[in-house]
Amino acid sequence: MQFKVKEIPTKGLHRDRVFAQKIIEECPITYEHYITPGKDYLKYNALGVGFGWLLPIYKFSKKLEEYNTTAEEAARPAQIKEKFGTLRYYLNWTTDEINDWMGECEAECSKRCEYCGGTDRVQPTGGWVKNLCVNCRGKRQK
């Protein structure tokens, strides 16, 4: 299934789940081990990080998928998570080229609110650190 960037879900309670599922479906080699037949991916966000970071992850995943279509052994995520307000995307193995793409992805995530993807005065919060924009920080404090 193909979808264009403009078709990325921007509304709805479960937009993160819908988007994560689309990334997995569009990159079936890269995320092969994330796919379990019969599992309902819309019950949770399979990639485990907030909606706001899924666009950079989508762009990175598309490059990785293209690389993997001709690679002898696919480079696949061993773990994807948020730590101290930054994206950590660990691969089973990597190359300098892939590390460059991943560096761009992590840098883009650091500029974006993990919740909404906004870029307005994004900074890590105190306490349980999240990288959030001014709007989402305000909502979170209520």
Binding site for Zn ion (CB under 5 A): 113, 115-116, 118, 133, 136
d(CA 20, CA 41): 9
Cβ proximity to Zn ion, 101 vs 115, nearer residue? 115
Cβ proximity to Zn ion, 50 vs 77, nearer residue? 50
Cβ proximity to Zn ion, 81 vs 121, nearer residue? 121
Q: Where are any strands of DSSP class E within 16-140? A: 77-83, 86-91, 123-124, 131-132
Cβ 9 to Zn ion shortest distance, Å: 16
Cβ 139 to Zn ion shortest distance, Å: 8
By the 10 Å C-beta count (0-12 exposed, 13-18 middle, 19+ buried), 77 is classed as: buried
d(CA 26, CA 142): 37
Cβ proximity to Zn ion, 10 vs 79, nearer residue? 10
Cβ 35 to Zn ion shortest distance, Å: 30
d(CA 18, CA 29): 19
Cβ 48 to Zn ion shortest distance, Å: 18
